[in-house]
Structure 1
Amino acid sequence: MPRKLWEHPDPTSTAMWKFMQNANAKYGLKMEASHQPLHFESYRDLYAWSVGPNRTDFWNDVWTISNLIHSGSYNQVVDTSTPMEENPHWFHGTYLNFAENILFTASDTDSSRCTTLYKEDDKIALTEIREGNTDVAHLTWGELRRRVGLLSNALRAKGVQKGDRVALIASTSFDTFIVFMATVSLGALFSSSSTDMGAKGILERLVQIKPKYVFVDDWAVYNGKTIDLRPKISQLVAGMQDVPEFEGVVTQPRFRGCPAGIEGLGSTQTLATFLEAAQGNKGLVFERVAFRDPFLIVYSSGTTGVPKCIAHSTGGVLVNVCKESILHKEVTPESVVLQYTTTGWIMYLVSIQILLFGCRSILYDGSPFRPTPQAFLSILSSQRVTDFGTSPRFLHELQKRNIQPRSLFDLSHLKSVGTTGMVLPEAQFTWFYDDAFPASVHLRNISGGTDIAGRFGMENPLEPLYAGGCQGPCLGTKVEVYNALVPSGHAGEAVPDGVAGELVATASFPNQPVCFWGDDAAGKKYKAAYYARFPNVWTHGDFIQMHPVTGQIFFLGRADGVLNPSGVRFGSADIYSVIEAHFPEVADCIVVGQRRPQDADESVMLFLKMARGCEFREGLVERIKSKIAEERSKRHVPRFVFQTWEIPTTVNLKKVELPVKQIVSGKKIKPSGTLLNPQSLKFYEQFANVEEVVTRLNKEKKVRRRCTL
């Protein structure tokens, strides 16, 4: 039984409990609000109803509490008889605008009318902070609306209209936020990438979505280094010359009041010049689009091949964020949210959409370790942050450096810390509460992602939090675990709780992506990505396990990276958690399975990147194997353990196992531009002939021994 770490002091005070009681009264249900340990009727009953035969009642009630600004009406929430892979229409007949809902609040008496309730002109909407907790600036709702109005009118004057695409390569900043809002206010589609992505990777995206304009920061700052982005701008302009829709680049000044010169850059103008097209008009006019119409394009990890361009619907994202934020996260207009992210990660959307509720969002640009992690953590205190979003990697670094935030800063306002992007080990859960953060803070480990612009697993306030995984499934998403041994194309079979398998969703949900941009009319790529594994069932690609008592969801790794030696299947997280907990001399590691055409079985390969000043020794290998056998099983022990000097990651610092697995299994791959360090893959090619590597290393070892005699 996992250790209980947290529970809400008064579940009956939460919006989720009130929502549940309203449903009880409205539909004659008998859901109860008990929060006794091991007594889960409250949330489990609510969840079962939200994904059951009457799930349209649940979504109808979510629509009601969302109070989104819209026009039109719907006759049915969704046609539940439509196959999931056909992507049924939700709330058909309603029209909304994403930016209008972010910048204004619906009237209580007429949802088609805008008000400034919770978003008054003089209230702060955004705070911009640069690396090292420097250059702190605030932007009020009134000024934000005026600046969005000015840019939207400039875009309109330049011919941008509904359905066009506007792309951005920039940091998280006021200017970036304003480009997002101005673009979607017109009914156009927005798409962003981070400045640390290479020109090749960016162009792989841009040539597919064919944007009319591309906004780019003129400089980037990270880890104390200032990078001139104008050479990259030249590459982008050259790479877009054959795209007829492309009209040019607009440069944003990274340093306030100091725009970089753009002499010699073709098809490029500064933001100040571009804004002149608005002729000073700051008025806001919103293009309301159908619920299903897309407003945002994001990208698959694309660690091999060209990334898929995932288009998300206006209404689907809005209604889902209302469900998650109001019911699961207890967001209020007084919330102050700091989500550490780049513009190239789906979590950037969190820092945008949270303003829907009148919150203040903090936009941080730079490394959280420059000059020290303490400088970054001080923001939680100085800005009175209520909800902090980060990654397991950041928490792991704090733990390694023995940094205890609660001993250093006033965290009395902090209500939650959210983590995502990779598996959060159980040891970090206990460290979080035993050593690092106040006991009252809700640690919210979530998992979902780019594909759904939402979550499959997340927190809830009605149940206790136990160490490990995600607290439970998200309301309205019918999460199941299917037998991973069933061949692709065959009907799936659910496994009992406690048995690991593949994460699937077996009923449609409103935030399914609309399409892959550029796909054929039949949605061939879209269906191949999500529905080829099991017919008419969304397969997400994660290997998970449901706890039979607590209902936690343990994310064990990617299904395509699942390790399977001698038929024993387990996730890479089983190995990573042991290394992180017991071997501080290892800075990072990656584990993959090798199975070449000539291999009768899969071999597990573990690659270790040593911490600075630490050496890779034979004794370390034996200690690691022994500890894995002790904490997992002998079948988990890697056959091979090697030293590496670089771990391949995406630009969001997520380690990528699949390309390494393919390379060591003898396959030739074409790395995607979304890899931060594609050159690192070259090192792993030698291990396709691992026997030769082992022979060579053994010879080198013998030579070293003779030299020491």
Structure 2
Amino acid sequence: MADSQIQMRKLWEPENPKKTLAYQFMQTANRKRNRGLQTWEDLHTWSVDHRSEFWEEVFQQYPIIHSGSYKRVVDEHARMDSVPAWFEGVKVNFAENVLFSPDPQDPSKACQNRKRDGAIAVTEVREGCTEIRHYSWREIRERVGLLANAMRARGVKKGDRVAIVASNSTDTLTVFYAVTSLGGIFSSSSTDMGTRGVLDRLQQTRPKYVFVDDWALYNGKTVDLRPKMIEIEAGMKDIPELKGLVAMPRWQNKPADISSVPKGETLASFLQAAKGDTTLRFERIDFRDPFIIVYSSGTTGMPKCLVHSTGGVLLNSRKESNLHRDAFAQDPEESCTLQYTTTGWIMYLMACTSMLTGTRAILYDGSPFLPDLTAFIKLVGEQRVTDLGISPRFMQTLASAKPPVSPKEVTDLSHLRRVMSTGMVLSEAQFEWFYDQGFPKHVQLCNISGGTDVAACFTMDTLMKPLYVGGTMTPALGMKIEVYDQEIEGGKGIKGRPVPVGQPGELVCTRAFPTMPIKFWGDESGEKYFNAYFARFDDVWTHGDFITIHPQNRQIYLHGRADGVLNPSGVRFGSAEIYNVLDANFGEEIQDSICPGRKFTQELVKRVKDAIARDVGRRCVPKYVFETPEIPTTINLKKVELPVKQIVSGKVIKPSDTLANKDCLKYYYQFAKVEDLIQPRSKL
């Protein structure tokens, strides 16, 4: 854990904070609202203490295409657990805002500002940096119009669900924008998810159509997905809402024969219902109305189906892209976002919303490490990517390679502005590697945290402050995050207790924000929603992360999940503290590690113990360290601790299909009786 009394090393700082959009935004707000905002801290304080003023200013300075009007922004006196409505009376459409921009003179009208017909909107790249195809804004609009009109002819309307089980491709993107153009609700699963995991989602959301890739390619292997289509159809036989499955060709102009799928048809057949009509017609819906359902990982039970509002996500994207990252200050045709993600992760939504500013989006499907570890990085240089999204695991793979891969030595990264990292805790050693060996000094490393639950960041980057080693730079604007004492048992009606700055505790948000899920699908009483976020502390969103706010630089240090907190000898610390030590001291000897919340030991134990005692504390030293053949991860490569913790604590669990390697959990059952296990061995 970062010592709160030590000023961490400065790694990066902005060239001129007073030239940022955030600073301009403050000056406009000062004139209009008689404020005296001068610093980033001033702006954040105003954004959470005067939420109506702040969000209205975002709405006015960075408008979205909309119609209607509002009498108030939000009821600031409403309880947070009532999930208050925002901008009631305003109507919007997600796809319309992606495909067009608001007319500067009249935001109820759409125009092609920053999204001209001939400019490239999307670049599709398949595994190994092959099959690269560019699509203009005009082509994307025509593709969406054609599919939307086919859906309309097949009866898809406002509120209907349409799901995909598909890769990160232009076809998938087209489905997303087509269904939302109609006011429908989109949801997605990746092709590498097991059929049971897919059905756990689809049986809850009951879509009208499911679009499925006919083949998948990952890590050099092709997989026929027609058997999965048959299994999905069989699993949905009692869902009357389902009208059919649509097979999307993985290889252009080579659709698979799907005659074995009774309710299946090809995409080409489905599109015939449009009769060639590519005209776009947008159904504007209430600001609060849903446009997407995303899912919790489901690693410890049925996945939660989180329903997000159209207006909330649109407005938050305006805030993050401009006030945190200066998007509208950049030439859209010189801006390009590449977010490495599957369609089953919330970062897929983030990749799609990058197009709201006119930025070109690169959709990459497959392993980023084929044909070798340099290919993906070379793509970043060749495509002049400005915003790159990866994970700590990606960086670890490059840094621990033999020989190590240094991206700045592989390709020209002069166009790269920032690298976003999320999915798991980014260790302090990785911060150091990023600037010392990995990337050019001008690139901003943006460690972000938020997630599926909020479709937004709780903590992220800013262009108005320096970056120091570890953690994330700042609470996101409009997010009133605090650190509560994790030792309080909590319960309905129990008030939480903030801890002093510099002490670790549980991340909570104490004011409502626009991207709170409007509900869980199928949770009519709201009980599951309440229990997920509000049952621990009264009228406060409990997010489940274990964090510290540094008293000097005010960065937020992430220590792992609160339910994975370790507590030997009464000292509470996060699993990330152990991972930090192992990454910094044993990168070449330990490929990966996991801290499930049990004490353990192994051959490197003395040096590991010494390093942990030195860097974390003597009472945090593990008693047992065992070698394990495989670390459980989700399909998105997030390290999974809670199922392991449950297993070694003596519980028998049902592995989730959202795990990439669920069979490896069997290995951990032997540690439920660790004392018996080590008797034949020498205790260390």
For the criterion TM > 0.5, the same-fold answer is: yes
Paired residue for 1:433?
Answer: 435
**1:404 Cα deviation from its structure 2 partner:** 1.3
2:461 maps to 1:459: yes
What is the CA–CA distance in structure 2 between the aligned matches of 1:3 and 1:577, rounded to whole Å?
Answer: 16
Partner SS state of residue 251, structure 1: strand
CA contact (8 A) 1:592 1:605 kept: no
Paired residue for 2:3?
Answer: none
2:531 maps to 1:534: no
Give matches, 1:503-652, under 5 Å. 503-520=507-524, 522-583=525-586, 584-594=588-598, 604-605=599-600, 618=603, 620-652=604-636
2:489 maps to 1:487: yes
What is the CA–CA distance in structure 1 between the aligned matches of 2:187 and 2:450, rounded to whole Å?
Answer: 19
CA contact (8 A) 1:651 1:674 kept: yes
What is the CA–CA distance in structure 1 between the aligned matches of 2:8 and 2:682, rounded to whole Å?
Answer: 43
Among 670, 675, 681, which residue is 2:654 paired with?
670
What is the CA–CA distance in structure 2 between the aligned matches of 1:406 and 1:585, rounded to whole Å?
Answer: 25
| Percentage identity across paired residues of the two chains | 56
CA contact (8 A) 1:184 1:190 kept: yes
CA contact (8 A) 2:544 2:561 kept: yes
Alpha-carbon deviations, 1:602-632, whole Å to 9, x = none? xx236xxxxxxxxxx63x1221112111211
One-letter amino acid of the structure 2 residue matched with residue 47 of structure 1: H
CA contact (8 A) 2:165 2:213 kept: yes
**1:66 Cα deviation from its structure 2 partner:** 2.3
2:28 maps to 1:25: no
What is the CA–CA distance in structure 2 between the aligned matches of 1:605 and 1:147, rounded to whole Å?
Answer: 55
What is the CA–CA distance in structure 2 between the aligned matches of 1:345 and 1:593, rounded to whole Å?
Answer: 26
2:217 maps to 1:221: yes
2:173 maps to 1:177: yes
What is the CA–CA distance in structure 1 between the aligned matches of 2:429 and 2:679, rounded to whole Å?
Answer: 37
Give matches, 1:215-254, under 5 Å. 215-254=211-250
Greater shift in the superposed pair: 506-515 or 432-441: 432-441
**1:698 Cα deviation from its structure 2 partner:** 4.5
Give matches, 1:267-346, under 5 Å. 267-331=263-327, 332=330, 333=332, 334-346=334-346
Among 400, 421, 424, which residue is 1:422 paired with?
424
Alpha-carbon deviations, 1:277-303, whole Å to 9, x = none? 111111111110100001000001211
CA contact (8 A) 2:479 2:511 kept: yes
Among 146, 162, 177, which residue is 2:158 paired with?
162
One-letter amino acid of the structure 1 residue matched with residue 523 of structure 2: D
Partner SS state of residue 257, structure 1: coil
Paired residue for 2:199?
Answer: 203
Partner SS state of residue 592, structure 1: coil
Alpha-carbon deviations, 1:289-334, whole Å to 9, x = none? 1000010000012111100000000000000011000110122423
What is the CA–CA distance in structure 1 between the aligned matches of 2:600 and 2:113, rounded to whole Å?
Answer: 57
CA contact (8 A) 2:51 2:76 kept: no
One-letter amino acid of the structure 1 residue matched with residue 501 of structure 2: D
Alpha-carbon deviations, 1:163-195, whole Å to 9, x = none? 110000111111000000001111110000111
Q: How many residues align?
A: 669
One-letter amino acid of the structure 2 residue matched with residue 482 of structure 1: Y
2:43 maps to 1:46: yes
Alpha-carbon deviations, 1:444-492, whole Å to 9, x = none? 0000000000000100011101110000100000010000011121210
What is the CA–CA distance in structure 1 between the aligned matches of 2:605 and 2:252, rounded to whole Å?
Answer: 51
Paired residue for 1:193?
Answer: 189
Alpha-carbon deviations, 1:259-283, whole Å to 9, x = none? 1111212211010000011111111
One-letter amino acid of the structure 1 residue matched with residue 176 of structure 2: F
Paired residue for 1:380?
Answer: 380
**1:351 Cα deviation from its structure 2 partner:** 1.6
What is the CA–CA distance in structure 1 between the aligned matches of 2:574 and 2:371, rounded to whole Å?
Answer: 35
Among 121, 124, 127, which residue is 1:125 paired with?
121
Structure 1 gap ranges (5+) = 33-41, 595-603, 607-616, 702-709
One-letter amino acid of the structure 2 residue matched with residue 49 of structure 1: W
**1:675 Cα deviation from its structure 2 partner:** 1.6
What is the CA–CA distance in structure 2 between the aligned matches of 1:643 and 1:235, rounded to whole Å?
Answer: 37
What is the CA–CA distance in structure 2 between the aligned matches of 1:572 and 1:302, rounded to whole Å?
Answer: 21
What is the CA–CA distance in structure 2 between the aligned matches of 1:495 and 1:605, rounded to whole Å?
Answer: 30
Greater shift in the superposed pair: 541-550 or 560-569: 560-569
Partner SS state of residue 593, structure 1: coil
**1:640 Cα deviation from its structure 2 partner:** 1.3
One-letter amino acid of the structure 2 residue matched with residue 59 of structure 1: W
CA contact (8 A) 1:384 1:413 kept: yes
Paired residue for 1:371?
Answer: 371
One-letter amino acid of the structure 1 residue matched with residue 589 of structure 2: E
One-letter amino acid of the structure 2 residue matched with residue 574 of structure 1: E
CA contact (8 A) 1:308 1:516 kept: yes
CA contact (8 A) 1:390 1:419 kept: yes
Paired residue for 1:612?
Answer: none
Paired residue for 1:37?
Answer: none
**1:689 Cα deviation from its structure 2 partner:** 1.1
CA contact (8 A) 2:377 2:410 kept: no
CA contact (8 A) 1:204 1:673 kept: no
Greater shift in the superposed pair: 409-418 or 625-634: 625-634
One-letter amino acid of the structure 1 residue matched with residue 19 of structure 2: S
What is the CA–CA distance in structure 1 between the aligned matches of 2:208 and 2:322, rounded to whole Å?
Answer: 36
One-letter amino acid of the structure 2 residue matched with residue 538 of structure 1: W
One-letter amino acid of the structure 1 residue matched with residue 244 of structure 2: G
> What TM-score do you get using the length of structure 2 for normalisation?
0.96
Alpha-carbon deviations, 1:644-672, whole Å to 9, x = none? 11111111111111111111111222222
What is the CA–CA distance in structure 1 between the aligned matches of 2:160 and 2:229, rounded to whole Å?
Answer: 21
One-letter amino acid of the structure 2 residue matched with residue 487 of structure 1: E
Paired residue for 1:471?
Answer: 473
> What TM-score do you get using the length of structure 1 for normalisation?
0.93
Paired residue for 2:4?
Answer: none
Among 661, 682, 687, which residue is 2:671 paired with?
687
What is the CA–CA distance in structure 2 between the aligned matches of 1:255 and 1:404, rounded to whole Å?
Answer: 33
Alpha-carbon deviations, 1:390-437, whole Å to 9, x = none? 001111111112211112211111100110001111111111111111
Structure 2 gap ranges (5+) = 1-6
What is the CA–CA distance in structure 2 between the aligned matches of 1:396 and 1:330, rounded to whole Å?
Answer: 29
**1:581 Cα deviation from its structure 2 partner:** 1.6
One-letter amino acid of the structure 1 residue matched with residue 620 of structure 2: H
Paired residue for 1:104?
Answer: 100
What is the CA–CA distance in structure 2 between the aligned matches of 1:126 and 1:275, rounded to whole Å?
Answer: 21
RMSD after superposition? 1.2
One-letter amino acid of the structure 1 residue matched with residue 496 of structure 2: G
Paired residue for 1:38?
Answer: none
Partner SS state of residue 465, structure 2: coil
Task: Find runs of 4+ consecutive structure 1 residues off by over 6 angstroms.
Answer: none
What is the CA–CA distance in structure 1 between the aligned matches of 2:30 and 2:374, rounded to whole Å?
Answer: 47
What is the CA–CA distance in structure 2 between the aligned matches of 1:113 and 1:29, rounded to whole Å?
Answer: 31
**1:64 Cα deviation from its structure 2 partner:** 1.0
One-letter amino acid of the structure 2 residue matched with residue 677 of structure 1: N
One-letter amino acid of the structure 1 residue matched with residue 443 of structure 2: V
What is the CA–CA distance in structure 2 between the aligned matches of 1:310 and 1:31, rounded to whole Å?
Answer: 36
Paired residue for 1:705?
Answer: none
One-letter amino acid of the structure 2 residue matched with residue 256 of structure 1: Q
What is the CA–CA distance in structure 1 between the aligned matches of 2:531 and 2:242, rounded to whole Å?
Answer: 30
What is the CA–CA distance in structure 1 between the aligned matches of 2:380 and 2:171, rounded to whole Å?
Answer: 23
CA contact (8 A) 1:593 1:605 kept: no
2:12 maps to 1:3: no
